[in-house]
Amino acid sequence: MIWWLLIAPMLAAAYLFLIAPNLRRRFRPKAQGLCRAFAHRGLHGAGVPENSLAAFQLAAEKGYGVELDVRLTRDQRLVVLHDADIGRMTDGQGLVGDLTLKETQAHHLLGTQERIPSFDEALAVLAPHKTPLIVELKSAPGTGSSMPQMVLERLRKYPGFWCVESFDPRLMRWFKKHAPEVIRGQLAYDARRAGEDGRTILHALGAHLITSLLSRPDFVAYRFDTDRNPSFRLVKSLFRPTLAAWTVTAIQDFKRLLDRYDLLIFEGFEPYNQEKNQEKEKEP
């Protein structure tokens, strides 16, 4: 019993050390006057594919921030695509990491005239509007340190606000080590509460924010409908980090989450379009 009284506080302290965010800096979007609504993969919909230049242009024109995904091609070029394979978004096939930039752009996105944009092309569309950006780095075999370095070089020239995030804590650790001034976020969700099968150890570590040991994030981007996770709740109440909710697909949820999250990554509606919001709210 005495041993337990001695060990329990040590175990609790160790656990808090594992899940703690970056305590040396406080990132407060609202206090900085930052836009809180970020269009998930751009403002996409009918005839406008996700992560396309058209989706980015539309979001920028309407005053939303943009969340986008970056991957690395075989010839070491940055492209904007969520999936590892181009099959879902184009009529082509193949892993992005096995294709060159030219090969990834040889196909149209979802039958439109849009193609998979390079990261440079996306930034060129968004830069004139100084659109706030959340850039998600997608890891893949062979990514190593080359992708975060390349992303950083381009974003340093971007005129608007930007930050980075990833499910892979090793990529965020790179920024922690080599560019600690960059605002970095740890993506996570509770796969069990999401009802997903085939969960891995990495899923479990991420769900309980133990990956923060590597990344020490400035903000935590969590799947909001799985946030009843005890570790997430503990981090939220004890450390009070900046929180980003993903992916909000209903205006009702958006309004409800405004008091619980600092940033909201949305899709399928326009938070600032009252007429469209009223139509959405009437839908069954």
Tokens 């996105």, residue?
109
Instruction: Please indicate whether residue 108 is annotated as part of the active site.
Output: no
CA 175, CA 172: separation in Å to the nearest integer? 5
> What is the SS3 assignment for the chain?
CHHHHHHHHHHHHHHHHHHCCCCCCCCCCCCCCCCCEEEECCCCECCECCCCHHHHHHHHHCCCEEEEEEEECCCCCEEECCCCECCCCCCCCCEHHHCCHHHHCCCECCCCCCECCEHHHHHHHHHHHCCCEEEEECCCCCCCCHHHHHHHHHHCCCCCCEEEEECCHHHHHHHHHHCCCCCEEEEECCCCCCCCCCCCHHHHHHHCCCCHHHHCCCEEEEEHHHCCCHHHHHHHHHCCCEEEEEEECCHHHHHHHCCCCCEEEECCCCCCCHHHHHHHHHCC
Catalytic-role residue among 40, 44, 129, 203 = 40
Instruction: Please indicate whether residue 40 is annotated as part of the active site.
Output: yes
Catalytic-role residue among 44, 82, 108, 203 = 82
Q: Which two tokens stand for residue 225?
A: 């409908």
Residue 158 has φ and ψ, to the nearest 5°, of -75, 135
What angle, rounded to 10 degrees, do the helices at 119-126 and 53-61 form?
20
Residues tagged active-site: 40, 82
